[in-house]
A and B are shown apart, each in its own frame.
Chain A
Amino acid sequence: MNETSPLLLIGVGGAGAAIARGVNRASGEGLRYVLADSDASTGGATDPFILLGGDRLSGHGSGGDVAQARLAAEDSRASFDDVIEGVRLAVIVACLGGGVGSGATLAIARHLRERGVPTLVFATLPFTFEGEERRRSADGVTAAIASESSASVFLPLDKLVGDVDVMDEALRRAVDTLASGITLFWRLLAKPGYIRLDTEHIRRIIAKAGNGRFAVVTTQGPDRSVEAVDALARSQLLASGTSPVRSILCGVLAGEDLRLSEIGKIADGVRATFGERCSFDLGTVNDEATFSGRISVVLLLFESNGTPDEEDNSGQTARGKRAHKSRNPLAQGPQGRGRFNNVEPTVWRNEDLDTPTFIRRNVTLDI
């Protein structure tokens, strides 16, 4: 493990740890990571591991109790202080629905925020077949995680995996899919190619990115760049947002045969599909051994870019919203937060409740 890397991957809970291990295996040396769980058996012989709430739960796990898991993670904050030394950007990966996934992820994200470490959370939402209780456990924390992290991506497992009948197979495929997606994202940061996305630049993007969507596609053949854009446009994972996209982070991973015209087609296609006027950052990775003949595109769409006047880039700005923006002579601040401009936002189900409700609902007022 590279203990000097400015990037840290944290796998939270049993499933989060499995994904982080998968990323580590695929990334080879250079990945700085740590696993965290209240169940001592999650920590392997060689993986760096934080036992959450050792005194409280004695390493036996939280038994699905979200409150206990959160408290266990809060007990172990000092252990996180030890591993975040020098970290400029942290990525947390977790599967929500269980005790640690839901409870500890929130506490860890909050702690990193308090320590000034920008954090991107990748969290899966349970399969439908996992039942109502796990869905509630996950739904109950998504808004809080979103508010405690710099950027968050919630991935419904049903959409991530598609139609799979066998439960074990579905779970395994979910872990593999997410691990490979995050691995590609990681390589983009750790092994940049012609077009570089350095850590500090990514850090600045993530620090103000808000709610996100994430997808990875891989194509090959003569029209691989066009097919990649088509696949992204059809991706259910990218279609799930409720707010317009304001920032795009795009990574293109390919072998030595990557052509500049392909990069141009992907950049133009992605911008045309997801937002012409939002901020756009692109990076490449050239790895002949892994991607020979293939091209993988990693796409992160964020609903905030931190600019003071966030306009709807989709060209479908509500009439009411536009009218209010142009007529309002009072300094109300971004999206009408007004007197709540300088206080911690109240977030519920990924919506900033400090923004007037009629704005968020795109209601036109005949005043």
Chain B
Amino acid sequence: MTNIYAALEIGTTRTVLAVGEAKTGERLRVTCHAEIPSTGVRKSQILDISQATQSIRSVLRAVEKKQSETTGDSLTIGNAFLVVSGQHVKADPYQGTAQVEGAKVGTNDINEAIRSSRLMALPRDRELLDIVEQAYGLDDLGGIASPKGMSGRVLKLDTLQIHADKNRIDNARTAAGEAHLEIRDPLFAATCAAEVVLRPGDKRNGALVLDLGGGSTGWAVYADGYLVTANAIGVGGDHVTNDIAYAFQTTQAQAEALKREEACAVVGGDKSAGPRANLPGSSPLMEARTISRRALDTVVNLRCKEIFTIIRNDLEDRDLLHRLNAGVFLTGGGAALKGIDSLARRELGMPVRIGTPTEVDGLETEPHSESFAAIAGALLYAHRNYEEKSFIKSLLGGFFK
């Protein structure tokens, strides 16, 4: 049986839709994806639902057209998983407990600990994105992967509950609904990205996945094989663009072009570039000119360094910095910035690499596949967690109309 999934990301700078398919037990392949610039979104929040709806309609049409051109099949997408990012996403630890009934831990005890770990009630304005099981504990002993058959009195299960602002997710639902797209489960961008860039060994050795988005930066930390924590801050590539626009008195579009084509996150890091960067004119009143490359790099460097400092402090506060032996994996649109990996290496003090989505197929020819890590991860997450029932649910949800 072939399962087909769709995922939608309404980002600050772009709206992306991707379709993936996989036969049961096989690797997932991203068969089609499209992106268009977002409007009506700031810092990962929808500020104008009608504009967001328009973006979703456009990207839906683009994907459906692409899919029919590629495969010859007519496809109408009726539902999609939603990739969520932004500072409103939080992760809280919660422990489930169970009194061991016999002398040794049995299946019933484990089920009871799992059931108990799902009792955390969220406030009405929060929506649960995921409950991640971390490790079991038995009395004073912690870090147990499989407690079955072990002796003890109280079984504990540590979990991480990832949740987000319900209103913001509902706004995305409304915008998608207006475009006749039903939203299935919302998923956190950084943990989705981790699904496709980390291998099991990376998770065991300790890894940080840093999803550098337009309106926010999210991160997910893995150690001992499981997700230890996740967090986000409302600062991203859009802030870099805004800083450039303010420093050099440009339009946002000019600043965006400077960021993509000229800037380097390490001051003077682009040895092949000259001392002045070209700034094309944007209108008859604003003529083409050149600006100091050193000044441009300085503006970008200060902002990026600040983002890494925030993340480093968060990791230090949680005593996690020394546990990341596999290093840092950069994903998202911000990972395409020149010199960003060098700066991250310097600021975080550990190996850094660009997070290529190696756990799925279909993105090999994409020049910046790291910018599709989160949405590809959402497809993979769906495949791993909804495999058997997804086809039926898709039919009911109107995946094929």
Contact = CB atoms under 8 A, between A and B. Distances in A.
A, B bound = yes
Interface of A: 56, 67, 71, 74-75, 77, 136, 139-140, 324, 327-330, 332, 336-340, 342-344, 346, 348, 353-354, 356-359, 361, 363, 365-367
A241 B331 CA distance: 36
A56 B252 CA distance: 48
Interface of B: 42-43, 45, 47, 87, 92-94, 120-123, 233-235, 238-239, 242-243, 245-252, 291-292, 294-295, 298-299, 302-303, 305-306, 310, 317
A359 B235 CA distance: 16
A339 B302 contact: no
Nearest to B12: A339
A244 B47 CA distance: 32
B295 A356 contact: no
Contacts of B233: 346, 348, 353
Given A328-B249, A358-B247, A365 B43 contact: no
A51 B251 CA distance: 52
B264 to A, nearest CB: 15
B87 A346 contact: yes
A56 B42 CA distance: 36
B252 A356 contact: no
Contacts of A359: 246
The 8 closest A-B pairs by CB, nearest first: A346-B234, A356-B243, A336-B246, A74-B123, A357-B302, A365-B295, A67-B92, A338-B242
A365 B122 CA distance: 47
Contacts of A75: 121, 123
25 contacts: A67-B92, A71-B92, A75-B121, A75-B123, A140-B317, A328-B246, A330-B249, A332-B246, A336-B243, A337-B242, A338-B246, A340-B239, A342-B47, A343-B42, A346-B43, A354-B239, A356-B242, A357-B243, A357-B306, A358-B247, A363-B298, A365-B247, A367-B247, A367-B291, A367-B292
A129 to B, nearest CB: 19
Most buried by A among B246, B248, B292: B246
Given A357-B303, A366-B295, A367-B291, A340 B43 contact: yes
B51 to A, nearest CB: 14
B334 to A, nearest CB: 15
Contact of A343 (B47, B246, B247, B299): B47
A114 to B, nearest CB: 9
A358 B244 CA distance: 10
Contacts of B249: 327-330
A240 to B, nearest CB: 19
Contact of A67 (B93, B235, B295, B302): B93
